[in-house]
Structure 1
Amino acid sequence: MKPVNKTELLRTLEDRVEGHISETIALFQNRSDKFLNMPSATGGWSIAQCLDHLNSYGDFYLPHIEKQILNSEDANVAEFTSTWFGAYFTKMMDPETGKKKYKAMKGHIPASDLNAANVVGEFLRQQELVMSYLSQARKKDLNKLKIPISISKLIKLRLGDVFQFLIAHNERHMQQAKRNLIREKAV
């Protein structure tokens, strides 16, 4: 893979996360549990289920990211290079490049009746953590720090690849959640 400027990559990822935070506040915060738990008109997940699914991935990845960032030395490395495996996972999840639907992994399938306010609050809390970790990552070597993936702790990706995958996955399900807003006109 071709190296990219680490600062530009992190800035782009921060912009995406900031967009997820802003959209969540504007579109989902302060909505009723009934509205947020209403199943999709197409039979898919409700808004709360989309966010709860993302929270389950945050529950796995964020502690690993924190541990790697806190336990590593600062490094003045200006570039990041994705591995082919990391780039593959990111493209698979990114809604622009990964059009195929995937079945949620065991442990990441949300319940159907959730405390939606708590789910939204937890999603926002996790996104603020992601912003903090992206900021701290400016002083780290994104190539050197390795994070296990959720489907097999034996497989590890570079921190830069994990950030890209996690944020692309968030974007995929934010778009899914926002498609549920179309029903708002009918309610």
Structure 2
Amino acid sequence: METLPKEQLLNSLEHLVDGHLQQAIRHFQNMTAHDLLQPAYNGGWSIAQCLDHLNSYGHYYLPKIQQGIAKNIHLPPKDTFKSSWLGAYFIKMMDPETGKKKYKAFKGHIPAPDLDAYAVVAEFIQQQENLLIYLKEARSTDLNAIRIPISIARFITLKLGDVFQFVIAHNERHIRQAMRNVTDINKRILH
């Protein structure tokens, strides 16, 4: 595990989150509910289901991140971050560039087919805005010292820096999935 400058890591994560936010505003926010709820061409999740799945993880992780930062704001900030071996494993597994394997969604994170598509998109946008706030707040903390329990096994904790990277890699994975649906919808419209 390499040690990274904290500023460099947070800047790259903010860039990704801002990209997710802009895609949601530019593409998903302006689509019809019908298109947002349209199952993927290959039978996979609709755009709304992809976002609802991400929102379900946001429901768990965002309050934990906020609490972790608030409780540990007194810790002296550290200028570097080093992933734990477990954190690096989870990040690599979830990153769409390095983790090519498909995974089944865990119970509690499986989206329903009949969603309020506009509410799902609005919540996703709000969560990305909150994530940007927490990334900014994290600049004055120690990403190594704050520990966050993971959603699938709460007795296991990861460093805040690993949790940020995991959540954002997971978001990237499903944003790409949703964008493939946008491409499919646009192809159908053109034909």
TM-score by length of 2: 0.96
Shift of 1:75: 1.9
Q: Aligned equivalents of 2:2 and 2:42: distance in 1?
A: 40
Retained in 2: the 8 A contact 1:30–1:117?
A: no
For each residue in 1:68-102, what CA deviation from the matched residue of structure 2 results, as whole angstroms up to 9, or x when unmatched? 11111142310000001000000100000000000
Q: How does 1:1-187 map to 2 (within 5 A)?
A: 1-72=1-72, 73-184=74-185, 185-187=187-189
Q: Aligned equivalents of 1:15 and 1:147: distance in 2?
A: 23
Unaligned runs of 5+ in 1: none
Unaligned runs of 5+ in 2: none
Q: Aligned equivalents of 1:172 and 1:2: distance in 2?
A: 23
Q: Aligned equivalents of 1:174 and 1:76: distance in 2?
A: 32
Runs of 4+ in 1 over 4 A off after TM superposition: none
Shift of 1:42: 0.2
How many pairs are equivalent? 187
Q: Aligned equivalents of 2:105 and 2:112: distance in 1?
A: 12
What percent of counterpart residues are identical? 57
TM-score by length of 1: 0.98
RMSD: 0.8
